[in-house]
Structure 1
């Protein structure tokens, strides 16, 4: 098997929906027939790992097969440990989804250097925006990129020098409000201005819905609800959000909700 495509979810601020979006992305790709590995770098909180362990337990309890990924948590918190974990997952994975801790971490920085697609989830607030750019307090215009944007810029430059490959940096706007507001518009305008300056794409993420918190204990995703006969109108809207998010990530060889192209699947 060739080199996997690395999708790294990274944000030094917690509470942005990073693990939820990482798990939903991994399962969506697996549901489309791709072989997916998932690597949890947060060996203390282990949110991604707990989610996928809950999923295994639900499949055993219901005696039902659901799309699943190969996963592990990084116990050896060193670059050598990271390399070893990636090597293990790469033996049988076309895509590897990496969930990093919500803090500055040397292993997370090393993982960012591996990214083909780098995803930075954020909420629609100036508190979250401050991670990647500072704004003027009166007119809300961007004054300068923040430390994290500079970190990502340097990492992308370093990777390009070493591998000759570019990195697709995606800022994922989670918890979008359904009602337009001045704050939402100002955050959006600042994000667009920063995107032109530091070179990321902005795509819509997942809204603030109770369903996501309810799914965690069972390890389920929105993709599983139709199989389990539990789909309401709110779930349909949430599935559409997920569909748009997966399409926006534009993972090579994928179409829409993680579905591989039919011709490739048939071949």
Structure 2
């Protein structure tokens, strides 16, 4: 099976009485939607192979009259079952998929972004690297690939290097997408971070993944970095991500009612 034909299940919607509509992130075709006819009626045909966050090889046919492609068969490549059995892992995986599902264009291949998501889902499933570190990495790398990377190494006003910015906390202007020194700080949407958090984000920003799992990250720095990147993404994409509310609830409480598991799935009438 070639990697080019693989796809990640980003969204799962029940349609009518028996069908399921899937939003897939294909490495070769980008974001695509397909319908699995009778997927909830026939347990033998697609049993356990259409789960959220799974990596699969879909075989689809295009109806002659047009419309959404029909999923005929599927080979399951990576089930990543741990992502659906743990609230924290599920929350991070759902958040990442919602970001990309919103940003991706239908039918436009983004192989680097695909490889990023599959790598982070695999690492999240294995569990050797802390989920918050993986989320920092994914968001920073995605922002770079999307041309939205925040400027964390120089002041957006005067160009002063990070090491020259003298402040108890370093301010960040969401509008300019840059850190600011005390002199240049405008009356704008500004957040503030500890210098150590900004330096660590800079370090992560220069790496795809290598060595990040060995990096020591304090709890406060991880929380501050996550809050910044999640807010930065929402600001620039003009969207409050539903899965982010779920994730933040899980992070703050540690547990959540079982029915919350259904949040990525909704039902449509045929």
- Would you call these one fold, judging by a TM-score over 0.5? no
**Rg larger for:** 2
TM-score, structure 1 normalization: 0.30
Normalised by the size of structure 2, how large is the TM-score?
0.30
- Point out which structure has higher relative CO (alpha carbons under 8 A, 6+ apart): 1
Q: Which structure has more strand as a fraction of its residues?
A: 2
